Structure 1
Amino acid sequence: MEIREVFARNLKAARRAKGLSQEELAHRAGLDRTYISSLERSLYNASIDVVDRLASALETEASDLLKRRPEKK
């Protein structure tokens, strides 16, 4: 799995765990909702600054959004 896909999966999971909509996360991070949607679908690459903004908005570490986890079989 490519890092962009890892990030997309972790971003979506973290957002859902916080009970946030894409729109609310976008608002907290100062981004557009459609950009969040595109990130979660692995359509765009996020800059390191965007990863940091999203991590802050989710009250987590940027490294958590980039961490590879074992895939479920």
Structure 2
Amino acid sequence: MKTTIKFHRLERGLKQSDLADLVNVRRETIGRLEQGQYCPSLRLAMDLAKVFDTSVEELFSFEDEDMDTDTASATARTARTAR
């Protein structure tokens, strides 16, 4: 998962702890979100979007995961047809 949270946070001059306080999570959660290591709940994603006055889609991108799924599907199809 890719995210633009850090970009938006820095653009507004917020520390991770400041943002965490605004959305009622721990600072560590913000750090993990920024690194793409944590998939937020819908509520948290919406709260973050509200803080930054943007959309959830602007904050989070799942393109890499979709590409991995497509690649895996294509590989499986190729393996089946090679038999």
Q: Using structure 2 for the length normalisation, give the TM-score.
A: 0.65
Count of matched residue positions in the alignment of Structure 1 and Structure 2? 62
Please give the per-residue CA displacement for 1:18-73, whole angstroms capped at 9, x wherever unaligned. 110000000011111010001111111112211101111223222221358xxxxx
Higher helix share: 2
Q: Which has the larger radius of gyration?
A: 2
- AA aligned to 1:49 is R
Q: Give the letter aligned to residue 32 of structure 1.
A: R
In the alignment, is residue 63 of structure 1 matched against residue 57 of structure 2? yes
Are 1:12 and 2:12 counterparts?
A: no
**5+ long unaligned stretches in structure 2:** 63-83
Once the two structures are superposed, the pairs formed by residues 1-73 of structure 1 within 5 Å of their partners are 4=1, 6-7=2-3, 10-66=4-60
- Give the partner amino acid of 1:39: L
Distance 1:66 1:42 in 2: 9
Structure with the bigger percentage of strand? 2
RMSD: 1.6
What runs of 5+ residues in structure 1 fail to find an aligned partner?
69-73
Output the TM-score relative to the length of structure 1. Answer: 0.72
